């Protein structure tokens, strides 16, 4: 079998030895993952999360007087906010659908009615994210349903959605977990995880 013409050595970070870099028959690089897929971002304090600090009652549908959990990238920021994961729990029986709301306005979200305190995934890091997180905010532009996660009919439930970095919030954009109708009283808990990288 012919050998790949791509051939050079890389330093093994564990042993310090020089070892061959490998490619397959189509010249695709062969890698094995040493850590989890988010390790490097977390280690560099570029991976952040925010969660509700108390159970709340969500707003209904696409109303701009939003209640739930919202992550926004301020206008003029120097980073893109890359969504990695969202989770939600309805702990009081509710009849509603749950999904992702996104939107954009040049000026971004500026009315942070009830702000949350995001944190870096490198626990005890002093890093502060650029993105803002709120349990209540005035969302701007034209909010739109982007994905639906599930539906509840007089029931409780929990879900997690992995975006795999497939939704990016440039400066001025936001994402929020929404319900098609207001949830039961003090029913909702939610969380977002995101990465921040220079625009």
The answer to the question of residue 33 being in a domain is no
The answer to the question of residue 1 being in a domain is no
The answer to the question of residue 5 being in a domain is no
| Whether this model's pTM surpasses 0.75 | yes
Alpha carbon distance 196, 182 (integer Å): 31
**Whole domain around residue 108: which residue ranges?**
39-198
The answer to the question of residue 15 being in a domain is no
Query: pLDDT digit string (tens) for 5-47?
Result: 555 676 666 677 787 766 666 666 766 667 788 988 999 999 9
The answer to the question of residue 179 being in a domain is yes
- As given in the structure block, the two tokens for residue 34 are 């040493």
The answer to the question of residue 183 being in a domain is yes
Residue 67 near residue 56 (C-beta atoms within 8 A): yes
The answer to the question of residue 44 being in a domain is yes
Q: Considering its fold, how many domains does the chain have in total?
A: 1
Alpha carbon distance 6, 12 (integer Å): 18
The answer to the question of residue 98 being in a domain is yes
**Residue 121: in which H helix or E strand, if any?**
none
pLDDT at 121: 97
Query: pLDDT digit string (tens) for 73-130?
Result: 999 999 999 999 999 999 999 999 999 999 999 999 999 999 999 999 999 999 999 9
Asked if pLDDT for residue 3 goes beyond 90, the answer is: no
């Amino acid at each position: 079998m012919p050998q790949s013409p791509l051939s050079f050595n890389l330093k093994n970070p564990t042993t310090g030895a020089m070892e061959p870099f490998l490619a397959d028959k189509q010249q695709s690089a062969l890698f094995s993952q040493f850590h989890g897929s988010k390790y490097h971002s977390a280690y560099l304090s570029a991976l952040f999360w925010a969660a509700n600090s108390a159970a709340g009652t969500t707003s209904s549908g696409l109303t701009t007087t939003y209640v739930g959990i919202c992550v926004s990238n301020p206008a003029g920021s120097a980073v893109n906010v890359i969504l990695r994961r969202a989770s939600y729990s309805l702990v009081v029986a509710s009849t509603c659908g749950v999904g992702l709301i996104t939107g954009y306005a040049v000026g971004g979200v500026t009315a942070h009615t009830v702000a949350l305190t995001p944190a870096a995934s490198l626990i005890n890091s002093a890093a502060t994210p650029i993105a803002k997180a709120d349990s209540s905010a005035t969302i701007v532009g034209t909010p739109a349903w982007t994905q639906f996660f599930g539906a509840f009919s007089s029931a409780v439930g929990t879900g997690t959605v992995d975006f795999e970095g497939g939704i990016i919030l440039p400066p001025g954009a936001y994402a929020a977990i929404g319900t098609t109708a207001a949830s039961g009283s003090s029913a909702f808990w939610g969380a977002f995880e995101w990465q921040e990288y220079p625009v």
